[in-house]
Amino acid sequence: MIEFKGSHFQREVILWGVRWYVAYPINYRQLEEMLAERGVEVDHSTLNRWVVKYAPLLDQQFRACKRSVGSSWRLDETYVKIKGSWKYLYRAVDKAGASVDFLLTAKRDRKAALQFLRKAIGHHGVPKKITIDKSGANTAAIESYNAEHEEDLEIRRIKYLNNIVKQDHRAVKRMVRPMMRFKSFRSAAATLSGVELMHMIRKSQLRARGKLRPAQQFYALAV
């Protein structure tokens, strides 16, 4: 259960603000106006603090109830601008399109790709094969993992098979575009964890009891 003690606002109001921001392509000032129309007076900077604080906590809760993914992964990275500089969002999906994992990194190299690979495998176990583009960094990362752990992860470079992860990037980028750029790496990582969380819920990746709508599934994570 996530604690909301010390806040001047009710838990339900905080969760509204967090979910609306990570679920729809809006910025904080627009969200401030939306809440004001519902009788909730809250500053956009407070909304930012809510997202940065609670989105990662909700993501942690989600991971304990996340459905398993397939053993054939598609791995790729996309660009996110933070304080005027491009950073890199590593992501992977399985062959059915279910999100495997994600990681925001400052660089796009073997070390970053290996960090992402370790995180994804730590949560889901070792896949049988990983499809990538011609990235030398991703190739080196998988080869390094194989050598370190005496694994035999198959590397495939079939461009059309990786289209599924490239298309999945678009859903995330569509959400990020109106956010008017991130001011810090920490806030970007926290916000993206919420965006990815809502994206996975919409893809029915939460083991939820009963037939709950995506919004209900999101709110249930805080209980």
Torsion of CA 78, 80, 84, 85, to 10 degrees: -40
Phi/psi region, residue 126 (left: phi>0; alpha: psi -120 to 50; beta: rest), is beta
Q: Please give the mean pLDDT across all residues of the chain.
A: 94
Burial of 209 (0-12, 13-18, 19+ CB in 10 A): exposed
Confidence at 1, pLDDT banded by 50, 70, 90: confident
Task: List the single range of 44-53, 97-106, 134-143, 174-183 with lowest mean pLDDT.
Answer: 174-183
CA distance 144 to 114: 8
SS3 state at 222: coil
Fold for 72-174, please state it.
Nucleotidyltransferase; domain 5 (3.30.420)
Q: Are 22 and 194 in contact (CB under 8 A)?
A: yes
Cβ–Cβ contacts within 10 Å for residue 183, how many? 12
Coil vs helix vs strand at 101: strand
Q: Write the single-letter amino acid at 188.
A: A
* CATH 3.30.420.10-classified regions of the chain: 72-174
Which tens digits make up the pLDDT trace of 192-213?
999 999 999 999 999 976 789 9
pLDDT at residue number 37: 94
163: left (phi over 0), alpha (psi -120 to 50) or beta: alpha
pLDDT tens, residue by residue, 127-154: 999 999 888 899 999 999 999 999 999 9
Specify the residue for token string 């990037």: 169
Residue type, 91: R
Six token digits for residue 88: 């890199």
Q: Which helix (DSSP H) or strand (DSSP E) does residue 82 occupy? A: strand 72-82
pTM: 0.94
Amino acid 180: pLDDT: 72
Contact 188, 50 (CB under 8 A): no
Rounded Cα distance between 165 and 160, Å, is: 10
d(CA 27, CA 44): 9
Q: What is the 3-state secondary structure (H, E, C) of 200-221?
A: HHHCCCECCCCCCCHHHHHHHC
